[in-house]
Amino acid sequence: MEVVARRRSAEAQAALASEAHAAAMAAEQGRRAQREHEWRASSCALAASIADLDAELQEAVEGGRRLLATTRRRAAQMLAAKDAALAKGDAQLARLRATDAAAAAAIAAPAPAPTPAPALALAHTHACAPAPTLAPDSEDGLTARTDGLTARTDGLTART
């Protein structure tokens, strides 16, 4: 009986060990399945996150392209406005230089010949009149007599 009891005890222990081993294997398989499930879930979450990041990146790239195009357009407009302002300034400078050159030429030009005084012109227009002679009674020496006509040679008055 003792042998039978030992044998039954050994069988029971073997069965318990076998069940414990099977339970450990099942637990390990469960843990593996759990880790695989978590890995798949995290992989799906990562894939979704990567897709979201990729979409955001594409939006940022497109926004950057639009900003660059807008910046280039604005820079071109500003350069065109600057060129127009410079051209306007150059035109004004050219006009000022031309005005300055004309003024300098007018200053440097010789003065026009003086026109004859009206009294002298009147005396010279009468070609038939005899040449004037100085009167001996002239106090200032500016009076000339010609057949009863008196003309002042300083050009201020002409008397008949």
For residue 148 the two structure tokens come to 């009863």
What are the residue ranges of helices labelled H in 109-158? 118-125
Q: pLDDT digit string (tens) for 55-113?
A: 999 999 999 999 999 999 999 999 999 999 999 999 999 999 999 999 998 888 887 77
Query: Counting runs of H as helices and runs of E as strands, what totals does the chain give?
Result: 2, 4
Query: What is the value of pTM for the model shown?
Result: 0.40
Contact 126, 160 (CB under 8 A): no
pLDDT score for 16: 94
The amino acid that residue 85 corresponds to is: A
